[in-house]
Amino acid sequence: MKLINYKSNMAIFMAAILLVFTGCKAVDNANNKQKGAVIGAAGGAILGAIIGNNVGKGGNGELGAVIGGVVGGTAGVLIGQKMDKQAQEIEQEIPGAQVERVDDGIVVTFDEQSGVYFATDKYNINASSQSTLDKLASVFAEYPDTNILVVGHTDSVGSETYNMELSKNRAYAVTNYLKSKGLSSGRFTTNWFGESQPMYNNDTADGRSKNRRVNIAILPSEEMIDEARSQAGN
């Protein structure tokens, strides 16, 4: 599996949408260790990696406030270095997952083909998913100064209301399982979008299987940001 530096059109589209409302200046999301040296649209690329190019609301609140903005200057470079290391560890421990370094964070995507999945109409964590999440929890334990956002999605089979609840239950199943491994509850935010944010074509079986996904975003905590700024002399 290849570690991805997220530069897709979806991320660019989301950043552009956020710029309309925030007035922030867009950034070129080019290099993992350099991207922190400039300021970009708040959470635009991470949001795009989680929900694609579909603008809408769902779950329990706005994700932009949770994701925050890009940390600039030397502090951003220091954060980027730590996130690069964590992303590489996740990639090594869970070769089936899609791991993306996005702005100051990491986005991990699980679907039916990559380690964490659910049976039809179910939201319990099966044995295969437990094994994958155990490895992920071990990496999270090494980096206690990061926050964790869990976002659930479904395909379009079934009613919108049903799928919204199903995505909520699946997202919380992942969150609660990770918490059960001794990770602090204060690190987690859980959100869900049902069928409203597909990243693939729901008209095909393959597309539907990829839309039945859980995204996990790993974000720098305020403590990590403060420490990086202190080291940078900001």
Here the tokens at position 28 are: 């070129």
Distance CA 129, CA 176 (A): 13
Residues 5 and 32: beta-carbon distance below 8 Å: yes
Distance CA 65, CA 88 (A): 26
Tracing tokens 């949001």 back to the chain, one arrives at 47
Rounded (5°) CA angle 31-37-39:
105
**Contacts with 63 (C-beta within 8 Å, 6 or more apart), sequence order:** 43, 47, 50, 51, 149, 151, 191
User: Percentage of the chain with pLDDT > 70?
Assistant: 76
Q: What is the pLDDT of residue 47?
A: 82
Distance CA 157, CA 73 (A): 46
Alpha-carbon distances, residue 219 vs 20, 27, 106, 188 (angstroms):
24, 18, 7, 10
208 vs 117, residue with greater confidence: 208
Question: Rounded mean pLDDT of 44-73?
Answer: 69
Question: Rounded mean pLDDT of 76-98?
Answer: 93
Per-residue three-class SS string for 110-162: ECCCCCCCCCCCCCCCCHHHHHHHHHHHHHHHHCCCEEEEEEECCCCCCCHHH
Domains in the chain, ordered, with CATH? 4-232 (3.30.1330.60)
Dihedral of CA 220/53/92/94: which sign? positive
Q: What is the pLDDT of residues 118-140, one digit of tens each?
A: 877 889 998 889 999 999 999 99
User: Percentage of the chain with pLDDT > 90?
Assistant: 50
| pLDDT reading at 211 higher than 60 | yes
